[in-house]
Amino acid sequence: MWLYVRFPLLLLDREPGAGVAINEPQALLAQRSILEANRAAQAAGIRPGQSLTTARSLCPGLQCRAPCADRMQKQLEQLALWAYRFTSELCLTPEGLLLNVAGSLKLFNGFLPLYRRFQWGFRKRRIPAVYGLGHSPLAAELVSHSTTDISTLLNEHGLLDKNAVIHLLNNLPVKYLPCEDKHQQQLATLGLQTIGAVNALPHAALTRRFGPPFSTLLNRLYGIEADPRKTFRPPDYFYSERQFNGSLTRAEELRFPIAALLGELDYFLQLKQWVNRHMDWQFRYCDGQSDTLSMPVSHQHVDRRRLLRLVLLKLEKFTLQGPVDALILQCHRFEPVAQRNDELFQHSAVFDHQRHERYLAVLDKLEARLGENSVWQPALCNEHLPEQTTTQRHPLANTPYSARAESTTRPLWLLPEAYHLREQDGIPCWYKPLQLLQGPERIDNQWWQQRQVRDYYIARADSGALCWVYRDCLQQRWYLHGLFG
């Protein structure tokens, strides 16, 4: 039982263009004749098959463009990803999607509920879709050309009525048969108007006249021969976009499209049992410029609402450069979902998973608002100079803590940069003269790079603060380097 969905206006309604509003007349052009026209153009009297001159005279403001197979394919792949939830047996055709729904009927309580969900999904996205139903892939494709409602092809049990499909196919005009133009003309000269009339002829004669592929086509159409198709596999990366055709100017208006894109991402990740580590947002403006907003995420489970809050937090500090034409979400880096075991006894837990998840969540929030480098952890480093022993690392970095601190008298605070102290009668002054308590402890090092000779002293300031000062023996200057907090 095959369901076919054809999207006649997919390219017209969704082609990006500078400031082109969706309600202007547009048409697709192939070999100087109209292939497809959108609603506005159809209202102006433009019909497929008209020549360009006729169309131009009917509607002077008509915008024409050539069909783009690549773009169509990309759009279809995006739709296929959504439709993948209904069945895994899904094929892409040049014009639409083909689904074998036979295996999904029980899951969706029969064909009609599934069909309704399908219709609702496309109506919500404002994508015009034409449906066809058949017992073979080709039959479903051809039935989509007829104007009959496909629910009439079902029997009283809600299953496909094969005879009704064959009856419908028999009455379809020959022009819908996907065969060469030469054969179409030959069929016309033979006086064959419907597909049924062609099928009624002896197949041996048809093979002789039109070649073996033609009779295979008919056999496949009527379900006599198998019709293997290449099924669609969801890609290993996530890409989705929303078109606004320049109608969106404020960042607040992005909330709903962002939520919808995150919903798609959530579904994709669930499908793959993955979590993403990165989100790349791209705002494409009408003038062809674009802005990117990339944000790292460190969650362990995808929570759509939490992600939405994070993105909105990031957007607070982001100003749009102009009207937005398209919003694109891409994700390339994924990790498999970490399965964790819960403890049988609550209190015996050594590692609190929930606490760790909350920790990761607040980390994401901080990074989204304060910037990526604003959150760090100190790490020890085996260096000789005091300022080089502490390095900053990202909280989720996997570098092990190997170095051990030696036990010497060291301050808890270190100044970001050593502060040059004034000297008065050989005594360093920090506002007032410092009282040197003990020292020196000499650090003479880095001779292979830039020799440092420092004599460190512990000194007492007038305020009572204990300072860590050093005299640079090469420069003969005093510096304040730390505080015993």
Partner 1 sequence: MSHLSKLLQNPQLWRSGRRNQAAGHNSIGTGLRRLDQALHSRGWPLAGSTELLCDHFGLGELSLLTPALAQLSQQQAIVWLNPPFKPYAPALQQAGINLEHCLFVHCNGLSDQLWAAEELLRATAFAAVLNWSDNSKLADRDLRRLQLAAREQQCWHIHFRAAATAQQSSPAPLRIGLTSQNKQLQLNVLKQAGGPAGQQLLIARAAHLLHEQKPPEYWPQHTGNSKSRLLLARLPRVKTPLDAGVELH
In terms of CB distance, is 139 or 480 closer to partner 1?
480
In terms of CB distance, is 120 or 376 closer to partner 1?
376
In terms of CB distance, is 35 or 436 closer to partner 1?
436
Beta carbon of residue 68, minimum distance to partner 1 (angstroms, whole number): 46
Which neighbouring-strand residues pair with 51?
33
Eight-class DSSP state of 445: E
With CB under 8 A as the contact rule, the residue among 158, 173, 213, 395 that binds partner 1 is 395
Beta carbon of residue 38, minimum distance to partner 1 (angstroms, whole number): 47
In terms of CB distance, is 125 or 355 closer to partner 1?
355
* CA separation for the pair 268, 412 (Å, rounded): 48
- Residue 82 contacts by C-beta under 8 Å, 6 or more apart in sequence? 121, 264, 267
Classify residue 463 by burial, with Cβ atoms within 10 Å: 0-12, 13-18, 19+: exposed
* CA separation for the pair 460, 468 (Å, rounded): 9
Q: 352 to 391, contacts with partner 1 by CB under 8 A?
A: 355-356, 358-359, 361-363, 365-366, 369-370, 374-380, 386, 389-390
**C-alpha distances in angstroms, 369 versus 149, 162, 257, 318, 358?**
53, 60, 21, 11, 17
Beta carbon of residue 438, minimum distance to partner 1 (angstroms, whole number): 5
In terms of CB distance, is 256 or 413 closer to partner 1?
413
Beta carbon of residue 481, minimum distance to partner 1 (angstroms, whole number): 10
Contact 451, 477 (CB under 8 A): no
* CA separation for the pair 467, 483 (Å, rounded): 5
User: Which amino acid is residue 386, in one-letter code?
Assistant: P
* CA separation for the pair 61, 67 (Å, rounded): 19
Beta carbon of residue 269, minimum distance to partner 1 (angstroms, whole number): 24
Q: 407 to 466, contacts with partner 1 by CB under 8 A?
A: 407, 409-416, 437-439, 458, 460-461, 463-466
Beta carbon of residue 102, minimum distance to partner 1 (angstroms, whole number): 49
Number of residues in contact with partner 1 under rule CB under 8 A: 51
In terms of CB distance, is 79 or 467 closer to partner 1?
467
What letters, b where the CB count within 10 A reaches 16 and e where it falls short, cover 170-206? eebebebbebeeebeeebeeeebeebbebbeeeeeeb
In terms of CB distance, is 323 or 439 closer to partner 1?
439
Tokens of 307: 């992600």
Residues forming the site for partner 1 (CB under 8 A): 355-356, 358-359, 361-363, 365-366, 369-370, 374-380, 386, 389-390, 392, 395, 401, 404-407, 409-416, 437-439, 458, 460-461, 463-467, 482-485
